[in-house]
């Protein structure tokens, strides 16, 4: 039995939730999101709360029950508040420039600038040329874009140079011990 699946989701003011067979769409002040739900799970709205139930039992139906509830809750939070990931560039001469709203240019120690195109629904806010925030309404897309940006130049363990999440702790290794 899923403890997460049992708990109802309170639908905030200004958010509409619609069902069509195995599709659920959530519309709010920041935009709208759609997702497909598994055929084992059904949803219903009662008194401003969204409930999920198992339609037919299978081996993994309780896992899908909790998963579906969590994904729809993330969609509702996304259209109301949105999601963001703070990131930093660490390294001498490492810089970031926002060419236009859909394109970032990194100068991160390679012989050429690295251009990163942002997908639709994602925006980047620069605090300075080394700190930036990836924002959007889709939690999965924000996390994937942040991971793809980090993958351009992962932080290395000796000096910590690279692109990292703001709350990430880089485990440092000692350098050479030197000649004895």
Residues 57, 113: one domain?
Answer: no
Give me the chain's average pLDDT, please.
91
- Entry field: residues in the chain: 180
Separation between Cα atoms, residue 124 and residue 128, nearest integer Å? 12
| Full-model pTM | 0.88
* Better-scored residue on pLDDT, 12 or 60: 12
Convert the pLDDT of each residue in 130-179 to its tens digit: 999 999 999 999 999 999 999 999 999 999 999 999 999 999 998 887 66
Domain boundary among 80, 114, 137: 80
Residues 9, 31: one domain?
Answer: yes
Residues forming beta bridges with residue 170, ordered by sequence position: none
Least confident of 42-56, 81-95, 126-140: 42-56
Residue 2 pLDDT > 80, yes or no?
no
| Domain coverage including residue 126 | 83-165
Which CATH number belongs to the domain containing residue 74 in this structure? 3.90.930.12
Residues 72, 87: one domain?
Answer: no
Helix (H) or strand (E) segment spanning residue 34:
strand 31-36
How many Cβ atoms sit within 10 Å of the Cβ of residue 117?
A: 8
Closest CA to 33 of 123, 148, 139, 125: 139
Residue 3: exposed, middle, or buried by beta-carbon count in 10 A (0-12, 13-18, 19+)? exposed
What's the number of domains the chain is made of? 2
């Amino acid at each position: 039995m899923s403890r997460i699946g049992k708990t109802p989701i309170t639908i905030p003011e200004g958010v509409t939730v619609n069902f069509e067979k195995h599709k659920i769409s959530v519309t709010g002040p920041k935009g709208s999101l759609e997702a497909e739900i598994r055929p084992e799970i059904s949803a219903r709205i009662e008194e401003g709360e969204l409930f999920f139930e198992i339609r037919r039992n299978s081996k993994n139906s309780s896992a899908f029950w909790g998963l579906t509830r969590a994904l729809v809750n993330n969609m509702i939070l996304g259209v109301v508040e949105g999601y963001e990931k703070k990131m930093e560039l660490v390294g001498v001469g490492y810089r970031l420039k926002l060419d236009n709203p859909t394109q970032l240019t990194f100068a991160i120690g390679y012989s050429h600038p690295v251009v990163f195109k942002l997908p639709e629904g994602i925006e980047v806010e620069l605090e300075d040329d080394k700190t930036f925030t990836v924002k959007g309404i889709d939690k999965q897309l924000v996390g994937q874009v942040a991971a793809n940006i980090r993958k351009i130049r992962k932080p290395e363990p000796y000096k910590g140079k690279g692109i990292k999440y703001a709350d990430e702790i880089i485990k440092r290794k000692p350098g050479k011990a030197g000649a004895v």
